[in-house]
Chain A
Amino acid sequence: MTELLEFLRQLFTDPFGLLDIPVREWVTDAVNWIVRTFRDFFRSYISPPVRGVMELFQWALSSVPPLVFLALAYVIAWRAASWRVAVFTVIAFAFIGFMGVWDQMIITLSLIASAVFFCILIGLPIGILCSRSDWFYTLVRPVLDIMQTTPPFVYLIPAVMLFSIGNVPGLIATIIFAMPPMIRLTNLGIRQVETQYIEAAVAFGSRPREILWKVQVPLALPTIMAGINQTIMLSLSMVVIAAIIGAGGLGLEVYAGLERLNIGQAFVGGIAIVLLAMVLDRVTQGLGEKGPASRAKRSE
């Protein structure tokens, strides 16, 4: 009788004390198990290609003399967007150089380039698969939600445990964080292709693969480009966080400035990141609007 009274009392005053779900312990155990079991695998099979791509970009970008870099940036921005964007691009890069963070900018740019490279490499096929199978998409969606909403700090620690500190875990965290829009928008873009075009392709005897590459992907390209644009922007927002676990570049400049309470240093890094973001945004947006598919859409 007293036991029952005691139970009821606790039910009203402290109901959650009655049961303890040890998620904390489960996760710790799980992560420890994953790290113990897969560390060697990750370090010997995942790290090298990621680092290789990253170093290749870094080598390529840093071996271009700054003046040639500016000229190339001008031409690319002009072809992709407009001469206004091109002029802005040159001014922005020059300003970054004059602030004295050119080398850091090159590192950040190669980090982003590698992250975007892997996001497209993995995200595009997954996005295409999602668009072709409702079943697969329902499976992928919660994973994307987790990738996008989990605070990056949470998976920085396991990333470090698996890959140790440096550019690679930073890059891996960036890829995880920046990939969802690529998948989502690829899926959306392909699903949005009007059925009349699919029907026409089918009526001329196209195989599913021909429909995909000759009709669906080209027509989804503006949306896919928007996904790439989002991916770039999200990667940029990760550079400072990635610096906490040892990634270099402009993020490190900001992080180091904050640690030493050196406001000026932090701001220089911050301004450079913003300028880089603006340039990349305008250029990739221009790229998405240039194709004939989007031209047709605008004239409708």
Chain B
Amino acid sequence: MEDIQKFTFSVYTENNIGILNRLSAIFLKRHFNIESMTVSKSEIDDVHRFIFVVNITKSQSDKLIGQLEKQIEVIRAYSHTEDEIIYQETALFKISSKHLYDEEIQNKLKFRRANIIAITPHYFVIEASGLKDEIDNMHDKLKPYGLLQFVRSGRISISRPKMAISELLKEYS
């Protein structure tokens, strides 16, 4: 049996309504759970970039690329292993203001790449960016203070290998 690994898919698409459905249906059909997803504009005007994180085998990943690229409005899809990308996630923690001057919290903020981005009489908000494990760790540490809210973004990633979308688009037109 092939090993299951974490793959990060970068899918460059046209910016049209419904593409997310079309892409997510491909994962659904194969019973793959999407661990994380981010959609944003890309380095190219009018081209959107989806980032999906999925735990599957190498051969499943190869086939998935074929099915993703088969969609009319997908320009190109790439999958990368963990060592082929630079990536991070962002999280926000909302905590009661009574803990604002807690020494332990202040220490954690210094130690991590974390900032307080809002303070009100009732609560304050910490923003932290990093790898998933780092954010998980931060979450575990802050949980005892009573998280009023917690949210984490999907993964964003930049690949080490080149993804030549601009050249491809020239070729298409």
Partners in one complex: no
A interface list, Cβ under 8 A from B: none
